[in-house]
Amino acid sequence: MFGERDKGKKGNGSKELVAPKEAAAVGKGATLIAANTRIVGDVHFADQLLVNGEIHGNVCAEPESDAGLTVSAKGSVSGEIRVPNVVINGRVAGDIHASKHVELAAEARVEGNVYYHLIEMVMGARVDGSLVYSPNGEKSPATAGTIGGREPPMGADRDGDTSVSMPGTTTEVGKSQA
């Protein structure tokens, strides 16, 4: 049976419970916000946070950590997210700042800007805002009139640059922008 192993010789009959390796790691923990839960206020966490319910407030983790936030298809966050690793498959109304990695799954709906170092976007994901590249996981958001914190190349169309969507527009993977 899972989590049990025979103790001693065969025929002994006694069992010893064994913790799975993931749970045995010191300092690693996961927090679940269940589907029937609504949190009003800011959430600060370490390690992993899984949101199946609702958070009305900002979500923050230590920027130098390896913390991760997952918003499931049933989950939603209304507020700013500042977490190194982010996976979204639900709804977010607010900016996302991910110093390491962002994954936008097929059912992701983001109303706000996404500041990222590495990004994965699956067909069907939707962002109503800008995608802003932050080299080397810079913590500060890009300034107005720049692309990813840098001035556009000389001669580039600053208002129509297709590498970054403009505020107030919608970017949807797999859909024509025509």
- What confidence tens digit (pLDDT) does each residue in 125-153 have? 999 999 999 987 665 444 434 444 444 44
Q: What pTM was computed for the model?
A: 0.65
What's at 95, amino acid-wise? D
Residue entry with tokens 């802003």? 132
Closest CA to 124 of 170, 175, 76: 175
Residue-wise pLDDT tens digits, 24-71: 344 578 999 999 999 999 999 999 999 999 999 999 998 788 999 999
Q: What is the distance between the alpha carbons of residues 98 and 140, in angstroms, rounded to a whole number? A: 11
In this structure, the strands spanning 30-33 and 43-45 are unpaired
Q: Sign of the C-alpha dihedral, residues 114, 119, 125, 131?
A: positive
What pLDDT is attached to residue 147? 43
Q: Decide: 134 and 142 in contact? Cβ < 8 Å.
A: yes
Q: What is the distance between the alpha carbons of residues 151 and 34, in angstroms, rounded to a whole number? A: 43
Q: What is the distance between the alpha carbons of residues 139 and 34, in angstroms, rounded to a whole number? A: 30
pLDDT cut 90: percent of the chain above it: 56
Question: Please, where are the H alpha helices in the chain?
Answer: 21-24
95 pLDDT band, cuts 50/70/90, is very high
Residue entry with tokens 């840098």? 150
Q: What is the distance between the alpha carbons of residues 173 and 134, in angstroms, rounded to a whole number? A: 21
What pLDDT is attached to residue 141? 46
What's at 104, amino acid-wise? L
What pLDDT is attached to residue 77? 98
Q: What is the distance between the alpha carbons of residues 127 and 111, in angstroms, rounded to a whole number? A: 6
